[in-house]
A and B are shown apart, each in its own frame.
Chain A
Amino acid sequence: MADPATAPRDLPAELSLARLALRNRSVYWGGLLLCIIVVVAIVGPYFTAEPSALNPTNRLKPPGPNGVFGTDMLGRDLFSRVINGARVSLVVGLAVAVIAVSIGLFLGLIAGYIRVMDALIMRVMDGLMSIPAILLAIALISLSGATLTTVVIAIVIPEIPRVVRLVRAVVLTVREEPYVEAAISVGTRVPTIMARHVLPNTIAPLIVQATYICGSAMLTEAILGFLGAGIPPEIPSWGNIMSEGRTFFQLTPWIIFFPGLALAATVLAVNIVGDGLRDTLDPRIARNMR
């Protein structure tokens, strides 16, 4: 499993990985699209109208002089709401990816290296995987109350098993490698073996997995919002905007279409980057795990 992308070398690992990745066309164009979206999400809200400003005389207006994207049923500017919604989606996607990967990495290392824990952790993961993610998230949120934090946690939990399986698979392969056997035979302690030999091998497949988790987390967040089970309705997330647009869909379909397109474009950018990263960085594992 010593593929060239993860084998130890003189350059700092992250730098060389990044250089390698940027040579891939998907990573380049997907990354560019994603960068534009991130910049708009950060800077945009300073230049647009207040997303919650009501304007009762200007309700359900089509795109035109009353706003690039028109207005919603309370006369709020849809363009401004969509721009502000980008922040919510990106924050949720990033937070879920980072937390799920961290927890999954920790549990996966333990499962892969400590035989006793393996059976226990993997059975729990099997159980978790067989619970439908959306249902689990809906149930967790309705039990604990809908806030940004509970939504993130509710999306993280069903994503963990995928990471654990991936990390465990890497650990199981790496521990059979001659260089690990050599390290064991000279008396290297387990934490050192983990840090020096096992961890570096998980980086490439984990980066790939993290992008996919980020994309699917943004979709899940929007679905939860759309179903009315997501973050509180006063926050203009794409899911919430679309949820409010449902009632008037036959009259004003653009209230769903604009945030929907924004969401699809963002997730598409993330997924394209993920596919490109998978092709360059990682070889077999990520493909089999998908």
Chain B
Amino acid sequence: MLRYVLLRILSTIPVMVIVALFVFLMLRLAPGDPAAVIAGDYATAEDVARIREQLGLSDPIVVQFFRWVGSLMQGDLGISIFSGKPVSELIAQRIEPTLMLALTTITFAVLVAVPLGTLAAFKAGSWIDRFVMLFSVGGFSIPVFVLGYILIYIFSMTLKILPVQGYRSPFTDGLGPFLLHIALPSVTLSVIFIALISRMTRASVIEVLEEDYIRTARAKGQSEYNILIHHALRNAAVPVVTVIGIGIALLIGGVVVTESVFNIPGLGRLVLDAVLARDYPIIQGLILFFSFIYIVINLLIDLSYTLFDPRIRY
């Protein structure tokens, strides 16, 4: 068990190295001089030279890579070209809204999707099932920002019950304003997860319901409720948890778009502002940061399997 945990933790290292290599090479292999790209269209020759010096671009590429990885290990993600602040500091400043949006979205999605998927599986073939499946295909098909604008149109512009955009912190502005402002973005972003998770829950509950031990439980005279909660749902948890892990990648992409629609000053907005300003250290830093989060969450999910399914023993 301990051996497995250690090996699994070690196995993330090559993946992280590859991500770092990819992010590093992306800027170096792009057409043109990276210093000129960073400096922008209106830069003078001195600007380009200054940036080249600042980033150490005159050294051999291998030296550059190891120096860069070395500073990454110390938590140094580089310095923003425009603000002159460390990227890690900018991330720390902007992380709260993004984290809150992600947490409320995942919580809401799981609370809605798991019961919905279970219900659909239990009543497979009924109108409830068909509705859930239809909703699921629809959720995959509607662009997240279009959904955001539809909800703004209904709840903010027509019914006038929720704010159009913005963010309030639960820590400094209070829980009420926070919930009012986060409601629409969370619901918008959660639709694709509800689609994903409910579909997965349905599939895995249907599979579990065909198992022998479910028949045994029925034969013993267990109530349908008991069978569902104690036997089916617990065993269906592994694929559902896995799909939440896969969904983290979707969530990160969705956050960028949702923050843009609802004008939330989080990491997604930081990326977009950095792209417009061609502030590559920020873009690099954020890609690394998000990839790291993705890898760590999927590591935790892998390790959590032993909790959900005692048959999985390493």
Q: How far is the CA of A190 from the CA of B73 in the complex (A)?
A: 44
Does A287 belong to the interface (CB within 8 Å)? yes
**B294 touches which one: A123, A124, A132, A139 (CB < 8 A)?**
A132
Does A54 belong to the interface (CB within 8 Å)? no
Does B249 belong to the interface (CB within 8 Å)? yes
**A242 touches which one: B21, B37, B146, B284 (CB < 8 A)?**
B146
Nearest Cβ on chain B to A139's Cβ, whole angstroms: 5
Q: Flag if A271 contacts B140 (CB, 8 Å).
A: yes
8 Å CB interface, B268-302 against A: 271-272, 275-276, 278, 280, 283-284, 286-287, 290-291, 294-295, 298
- Nearest A residue to B18 via CB reads A127
Q: How far is the CA of A123 from the CA of B152 in the complex (A)?
A: 42
Q: Flag if B141 contacts A256 (CB, 8 Å).
A: no
- Interface-centre pick from B37, B140, B144, B291 (highest chain A CB count, 10 A): B140
Nearest Cβ on chain B to A93's Cβ, whole angstroms: 12
Q: Flag if B271 contacts A268 (CB, 8 Å).
A: no
Q: How far is the CA of A142 from the CA of B287 in the complex (A)?
A: 14
Nearest Cβ on chain A to B27's Cβ, whole angstroms: 7
Interface hit among A14-22, A43-51, A99-107, A224-232: A224-232
User: A129-B249, A132-B294, A134-B256 given as contacts; is B145 within 8 A of A226 (CB)?
Assistant: yes
Q: How far is the CA of A227 from the CA of B258 in the complex (A)?
A: 10
Q: Which residues of B sit under 8 angstroms from A256, Cβ to Cβ?
A: 146, 149
Interface hit among A73-81, A177-185, A202-210, A259-267: A259-267
Does B203 belong to the interface (CB within 8 Å)? yes
Q: Flag if A260 contacts B253 (CB, 8 Å).
A: no
Q: How far is the CA of A229 from the CA of B283 in the complex (A)?
A: 13
Does B169 belong to the interface (CB within 8 Å)? no
Q: Flag if B153 contacts A253 (CB, 8 Å).
A: yes
Does A114 belong to the interface (CB within 8 Å)? no
Nearest Cβ on chain A to B246's Cβ, whole angstroms: 9
Q: Which residues of A sit under 8 angstroms from B152, Cβ to Cβ?
A: 249
Q: Which residues of A sit under 8 angstroms from B112, Cβ to Cβ?
A: none
User: A227-B257, A253-B153 given as contacts; is B141 within 8 A of A264 (CB)?
Assistant: yes
Q: How far is the CA of A250 from the CA of B21 in the complex (A)?
A: 44
Q: Which residues of B sit under 8 angstroms from A219, Cβ to Cβ?
A: 141, 143
Does A140 belong to the interface (CB within 8 Å)? yes
Nearest Cβ on chain B to A235's Cβ, whole angstroms: 18
Q: Flag if B141 contacts A128 (CB, 8 Å).
A: no
Q: Flag if A135 contacts B143 (CB, 8 Å).
A: no
Q: How far is the CA of A122 from the CA of B279 in the complex (A)?
A: 31
User: A123-B14, A131-B291, A271-B137 given as contacts; is B252 within 8 A of A242 (CB)?
Assistant: no
Q: Flag if B19 contacts A136 (CB, 8 Å).
A: no
How many B residues face the partner with a CB closer than 8 A?
A: 51
**A135 touches which one: B18, B31, B253, B278 (CB < 8 A)?**
B253
How many A residues face the partner with a CB closer than 8 A?
A: 44
Interface of chain B, main secondary structure: helix
Q: Flag if A132 contacts B18 (CB, 8 Å).
A: no
User: A223-B144, A226-B145, A272-B137 given as contacts; is B257 within 8 A of A130 (CB)?
Assistant: no
- Nearest B residue to A239 via CB reads B143
Nearest Cβ on chain B to A69's Cβ, whole angstroms: 15
Q: Which residues of B sit under 8 angstroms from A142, Cβ to Cβ?
A: 275, 278, 283
Q: Flag if B275 contacts A229 (CB, 8 Å).
A: yes
- Interface-centre pick from A126, A132, A227, A260 (highest chain B CB count, 10 A): A132
- Nearest B residue to A269 via CB reads B141
Does A31 belong to the interface (CB within 8 Å)? no
Does B157 belong to the interface (CB within 8 Å)? yes
Q: How far is the CA of A260 from the CA of B145 in the complex (A)?
A: 9
- Nearest B residue to A267 via CB reads B141
Q: How far is the CA of A268 from the CA of B21 in the complex (A)?
A: 37
Q: Flag if A130 contacts B19 (CB, 8 Å).
A: yes
Q: Which residues of B sit under 8 angstroms from A11, Cβ to Cβ?
A: none
Nearest Cβ on chain B to A115's Cβ, whole angstroms: 17
Binding site for B on A (CB under 8 A): 123-124, 126-136, 138-140, 142-145, 215, 219, 222-223, 226-229, 242, 249-250, 253, 256-257, 260-261, 263-264, 267-268, 271-272, 275, 287
Besides A130-B294, A257-B153, A271-B141, 10 more A-B contacts (Cβ < 8 Å) are: A127-B17, A131-B287, A134-B256, A135-B271, A144-B30, A226-B143, A229-B272, A250-B157, A260-B142, A271-B137
A-B contact pairs, 5 of them (CB 8 A): A126-B15, A143-B27, A257-B149, A260-B146, A267-B140
